[in-house]
Amino acid sequence: MSKRLVLSGLVAALLCGVAGFWLLTAPSVWHAVRGSVPVATGPARLENGQTLFWAGGCASCHATPDQDDRLRLGGGRALPTPFGTFRVPNLSSDTRDGIGAWSELTFIAAMREGVSPDGRHYYPAFPYTSYALMNDQDLVDLLAFLKTLPPVSGRIADHDLPFPFSFRRGLGLWKWLNLGGVSYQPQTGQSDLWNRGAYLVNGPGHCAECHSPRDVMGGIRTPLRLSGGPDPEGGAGYIPNLTSHPSGLAKWTAEDVAEFLKTGFTPDFDSAGGSMASVIKNMGHLEDADRMAIATYLKSLPPLPSNKPAKKTP
């Protein structure tokens, strides 16, 4: 076999590989994979949309910094991470700079597929791997509520990411590894309260996005889901274990968990701090039944040990 023939074969294999990569990582592929078909829902329910807004913690990330109105969703917050700095986009009803002109299908594609209206991959700092579990009606309701909030003008600067993380197309491969499943299906044999809690925790609440360890590519380590993890913003802190392990919620009752979500006070009379303080502000807007549903689900989780590093002895 001549060297020229070998070289031609290598070039052909390389071109096929590049073409395959370009095809499999195309944002448009995710419309087929995730199945965002025309929405068959009833009229939007604003009260339900408001509940999902608080359960999803939208204000914690998207509220305009340095002002007190948590319903002004102009974005702009910087999120430092080990992969670079992400900047939270404008989620207000502004038709130019926010999502005021988005259709229901556009919103569902963003929430379930991580695809932007202009056909680009969203970075998973936007937790669409969790929002993908939300059902059509809830997403329609949430969008309708968001559009009732005040418009805030102003476009947000792009993310500041080093190569290769700045290469968005590569997120298509990340999605093949980490974005799966369909909207949440209630589990038979479990109570309505448990299923409501499972939906809120794993879907709109996206609790696992912070409370789980991640692999080197930033994907959640599924076997250790909700067992706690390093601060996703790259800080020195460690996000707590939410399972019934002694390093987590073993000594808490469901009532303790529900009360914490309402007031921010632990059974030992400590209080929530850091980013969790903002979460408590959101959870305080929920009905007692929803907080108890979350608590019921969390208390049912099997114990998983935390991978929190041991404190070094001075």
Domain span at residue 307 reads 188-314
DSSP H stretches of helix in the chain:
3-24, 29-34, 46-55, 58-62, 104-108, 128-131, 136-146, 171-178, 192-202, 254-263, 275-283, 288-300
Give the domain-ending residue among 183, 201, 224.
Answer: 183
Does residue 164 have a cis bond before it (omega within 30 degrees)?
yes
**How much is the average pLDDT of 187-199?**
96
Q: In terms of domains, do 148 and 211 share one?
A: no
Q: Which residue has the higher pLDDT, 243 or 314?
A: 243
The Cα 210–Cα 192 span in angstroms is 26
Query: Does the pLDDT of residue 311 top 80, yes or no?
Result: no
Name the domain boundary from 137, 168, 183.
Answer: 183
Residues forming beta bridges with residue 80, ordered by sequence position:
85
Position 32 in a domain: no
Q: Quick check: 266 and 259 in contact, CB under 8 A? A: no
Final residue of a structural domain among 160, 183, 206: 183
Phi, psi of 16 (to 5 degrees): -65, -40
With contact defined as beta carbons under 8 Å apart, do 93 and 148 qualify?
yes
Q: Give tens-digit pLDDT for 115-138.
A: 988 888 898 889 999 999 999 899
pLDDT beyond 60 at 16? no
Specify whether 133 is located in the same domain as 230: no
